[in-house]
Structure 1
Amino acid sequence: MIKVGLILGIAGACRTDELVNLTVDDIEDVGSSLIVKITNNKTKIPRIFVVTDVGNMLELFQKYLSLRPPHVKHKRLFLYYKAGKCSSQPVGKNTMGKIPSVVASYLKLPDVACYTGHCLRRSSATLLADAGVDITTIKRHAGWKSTTVAEGYVENSIVNKTKIANQVLVGTTTSAITKNCKCKRK
């Protein structure tokens, strides 16, 4: 459940509520990818995102779905697990919101309590920005209307800082520096 929640949360820049309300009918397995429809969200504007089979993500999803008990009467995707068994009880907002802190704990990151459900949305925006995706695409992906809001979700990551440093330093030559220098030479 944690792995599937993490994959869907980051792939779709999902809010915790969107993951909680996701149903088995909102996901279409088309063989080489999953098409995920977010219909029940804060903005009331439906979004669609795709999960491709990078790193066997589809296999993880299919395995998770196969563990679903046949007697479950609701369609919610995420079900509660205890002692290695899947129950029919749906996962709530608090459990879903703890996924990032569980992952941070597993990775032995500092300040585990700082990793909230909203980290999935922030991570998605930051990963896209680090890959060089423009702000319009990031806004469309996450369902933001405001550029300011979208930019607020993009963290200043070390990956991005390194790219910037390489662009500045690799593109810099002595002649470029001297041409742009306003000081007088003796």
Structure 2
Amino acid sequence: MQRNYKSSTLWAQYSMVKSCLIIYDNIDISKCPKLIAFLKRTGDGQQTKKSKILTKSEIDRFLSSADDKEFLMIKVGLILGIAGACRTAELVNLTVDDIEDPVGKNTMGKIPSVVASYLKLPDVACYTGHCLRRSSATLLADAGVDITTIKRHAGWEINDGR
């Protein structure tokens, strides 16, 4: 029986196996060029799904028009997510002493799609949890911020050419 896996699934499995081999057997499979080449080939021809972004005007419109009684948590998550270029897990792991109702990963991950739905934007399902990080970086770039500062803000690797 042949099983087909997406490239992202294979890379995730590779990462787990690599970690286990390093921890338990002190074997580093990241130095296996044939394995890496095979994994890279599995992604050839596949289209990666990228989350859509929210524009500054869409964010402003949602924040000013959505009712606080119904959308306050979404507004707070949106502001924190955009300001911090946060991943969903980073939003979930925030600790604030006076939060009465903890919010889970799925709820946090749906913030962009809730905003898109409220604004009646097309393709609501394409506004994933990653939307906040992408929107944050895009807003900074649109404001003329240099790429190194954007990478530092988002916690991305900065390649200084060495």
Q: TM-score, normalised by structure 1?
A: 0.45
Instruction: Indicate the residue corresponding to 1:17 in structure 2.
Output: 89
Instruction: Indicate the residue corresponding to 1:140 in structure 2.
Output: 152
Instruction: Indicate the residue corresponding to 1:97 in structure 2.
Output: 109
Q: Identity of paired residues, percent?
A: 91
Instruction: Indicate the residue corresponding to 1:4 in structure 2.
Output: 76
Q: Distance in 1 between matches of 2:123 and 2:152?
A: 31
Paired residues, number: 87
Tell me the amino acid that sits aligned with residue 119 of structure 2: L
Runs of 4+ residues over 4 Å off in structure 1: none
Q: Distance in 2 between matches of 1:105 and 1:98?
A: 10
Q: Distance in 2 between matches of 1:7 and 1:91?
A: 15
Q: How does 1:49-68 map to 2 (within 5 A)?
A: 68=99
Q: How does 1:14-93 map to 2 (within 5 A)?
A: 14-24=86-96, 68-69=99-100, 79=101, 90-93=102-105
Q: Which of the pair is proportionally richer in strand?
A: 1
Q: Distance in 1 between matches of 2:143 and 2:79?
A: 17
Q: Which structure has the greater CA radius of gyration?
A: 1
Q: Distance in 1 between matches of 2:77 and 2:134?
A: 15
Q: TM-score, normalised by structure 2?
A: 0.51
RMSD between aligned residues: 1.4
Q: Report deviation, 1:117.
A: 0.7
Tell me the amino acid that sits aligned with residue 17 of structure 1: A
Q: Report deviation, 1:146.
A: 4.1
Q: How does 1:165-184 map to 2 (within 5 A)?
A: none
Runs of 5+ unmatched residues, structure 2: 1-72
Instruction: Indicate the residue corresponding to 1:122 in structure 2.
Output: 134
Q: Contact 2:81–2:91 (CA<8 Å) still a contact in 1?
A: yes
Measured against aligned partners, the alpha-carbon deviations of 1:125-179 in whole angstroms (never above 9, x if no partner) come to 00000000000100111111146xxxxxxxxxxxxxxxxxxxxxxxxxxxxxxxx
Tell me the amino acid that sits aligned with residue 88 of structure 2: T
Measured against aligned partners, the alpha-carbon deviations of 1:65-122 in whole angstroms (never above 9, x if no partner) come to 5xx44xxxxxxxxx3xxxxxxxxxx211111000000000001100000001100000
Q: How does 1:144-159 map to 2 (within 5 A)?
A: 144-146=156-158
**Does 2:94 match 1:111?**
no
Q: Distance in 2 between matches of 1:137 and 1:99?
A: 26
